[in-house]
Structure 1
């Protein structure tokens, strides 16, 4: 702390001794002398005993002011004609219209090859394990369900309450974010190892991993899991991460097919959840406002409800279903990721299981033509 003035004096002497650098260094030293313990530089913050994360007085860069340069509670300034965006730190992700949210269908791809059947079998095993660990159940309603109360249906094991649904969703989302990150990391390392470009796969896989993590962050606003639940997630995540890592080294296509089937189950689960909310069987969620993090992430309206959030999450899972089944149809080593440049519309992703390989090639070619037409380059 006391050595700083002496350091500044030495700096001024150095400026006098080096005339050619004086014009460049003098303003910096004058500014430092004036403030003494400057906050304009992270290194100076450390020298002055300040935390590196304290507010900086640096001006905005080319991308605009950093969030740390703004007063507390301030929003990042954007174009005044646009809505203020808070979550601009996240990767690209689709934002859906009301019509798109309701265009998702429960679909399943037929297992054709041996690897497809193997992936499908593992998903059925994983589904059983998830159902057991989270206490999930979905029995057909009895013929006299209209005469039974909500409490009687729950006691009979026909319906789950809000707590049971949250337990199921939190457990699912804590595991669902693993495959995208593992696949992205392995493709990243492969690109470095072979010193070749990745053909656009890494970004899509990272976006998927982050999207699933944001699902978890959203639902955690409703319930803070217990230590026992967190321990179960820790164990399941450790086993699943390492198993998926090893399997991806052996057969990436089979792993993407596995994730595609897993997302089929996720779409089914969220569809049932939506039906339960709309039928009034989850009364605590019927008129529950959407969490702020969900409004920001999916650009929902101020009056959005929790039901709108579940619709958005289901649409995301439909996107992952479509993307992973499509990637499983490609040649891992050479084919370009068709979703690197643009996304199909939600109507396509909600009503179809995937692109076949030839459709992916056409989709990539069309994306290139669109880019060339917008930039004025010859097609």
Structure 2
């Protein structure tokens, strides 16, 4: 209940009580006026204040149903945490401990399929395929120069870009579905799932390597250019856009393979896996950074397959909605 509403109700109750005891019509009239008076601060302002402090209500009202809520409609009462009556959900792990992550939920965790074939490659045959292939190769050259063998930082920075294509493609398919009043075949969710998975790669590698100030600045520049370039490419030719991502994922597999080699040689310390990785990929306790790189590399291989598959569908003259999307295929 907003503060203004609570004051109005209190005034109504007090006025009504006074009218009964004195037998005065004037008191009843004042009570009616108090009931009808709007909040002085306005509803938007009051709702903002209500997030910071508890509404000032009478003790009797505080015990009533308007000031308390129950989770799941049970008998147990729980204080509403905001003006809108939204109670944040709480989740627990299988062992009963509280779920510590707000960036993903328990049902979004999964076990990575690391048995996927990492050697698959799409041979560029058409002009668009060759354009996509050599564009990716050209992009890799400055990346190798900038990061050298700092694979932890390289992985973290590149994931800020890798999460863009799925979001852009999903957004465009979403708008297309709205314009045409048609289903997407699940492809909107599949592409957004890919974007979210790449973002979780970033959340994980942030625990391993922290970016320097100039690397953060680089993210702003690269993401701004890449987002708009990929948006334009997808509008012009979805088959080209998906093929570019397919080749980018092939390069990501190569980069993570080199990362594993450095870990095996001892050049990079094989530290314990971050806690967020243990929960997101449902990894075994005691897992290490090497295990994290293995599951991330498997994810990239799945993204490679999805995007090459999407490009193939477009080459066949078919729309993505005609073929069920590979949901859950990380």
TM-score, normalised via structure 2 length: 0.72
Q: 2:91 aligns with which of 55, 76, 80?
A: 76
Contact 1:93 1:211 in 2 (8 A): no
Confirm whether residue 58 of structure 1 aligns to residue 74 of structure 2: no
Task: Provide the secondary structure at the position in 1 that maps to 2:313.
Answer: coil
1:293 aligned partner = 276
TM-score, normalised via structure 1 length: 0.63
Alpha-carbon displacement from aligned partner over 1:99-125 (angstroms, at most 9, x marks no partner): x42554233210122211111111111
Unaligned runs of 5+ in 2: 17-43, 55-66
2:199 aligned partner = 213
Q: Relative to 1, partners in 2 of residues 1:111 and 1:270: Cα closer, same or farther, differing over 3 Å?
A: same
Alpha-carbon displacement from aligned partner over 1:29-80 (angstroms, at most 9, x marks no partner): xxxxxxxxxxxxx99864546269xxx9633249xx999958xxx96146x6
Contact 1:188 1:202 in 2 (8 A): yes
Confirm whether residue 240 of structure 1 aligns to residue 226 of structure 2: yes
Confirm whether residue 280 of structure 1 aligns to residue 266 of structure 2: yes
Task: Provide the secondary structure at the position in 1 that maps to 2:285.
Answer: coil
Confirm whether residue 314 of structure 1 aligns to residue 297 of structure 2: yes
Contact 2:184 2:321 in 1 (8 A): no
Confirm whether residue 9 of structure 1 aligns to residue 22 of structure 2: no
Structure 1: distance between partners of 2:302 and 2:105: 21
Structure 2: distance between partners of 1:127 and 1:51: 53
Contact 1:244 1:255 in 2 (8 A): yes
Q: What is the Cα-based RMSD across aligned positions, in Å?
A: 3.6
1:371 aligned partner = none
Task: Provide the secondary structure at the position in 2 that maps to 1:175.
Answer: helix
Task: Provide the secondary structure at the position in 1 that maps to 2:282.
Answer: coil
Unaligned runs of 5+ in 1: 16-41, 137-159, 347-379
Q: 1:172 aligns with which of 145, 158, 163?
A: 158
1:350 aligned partner = none
Query: How far off is 1:220 after superposition?
Result: 0.9
Structure 2: distance between partners of 1:266 and 1:167: 14
Alpha-carbon displacement from aligned partner over 1:203-234 (angstroms, at most 9, x marks no partner): 01101111111111111112221221111111
Query: How far off is 1:176 after superposition?
Result: 0.7
Structure 2: distance between partners of 1:280 and 1:49: 51
Contact 2:4 2:46 in 1 (8 A): no
Structure 2: distance between partners of 1:240 and 1:296: 31
2:62 aligned partner = none
Task: Provide the secondary structure at the position in 1 that maps to 2:322.
Answer: coil
2:286 aligned partner = 303
Query: How far off is 1:314 after superposition?
Result: 0.4
Query: Which region of structure 1 is more displaced relative to structure 2, 199-208 or 122-131?
Result: 122-131
Structure 2: distance between partners of 1:307 and 1:210: 22
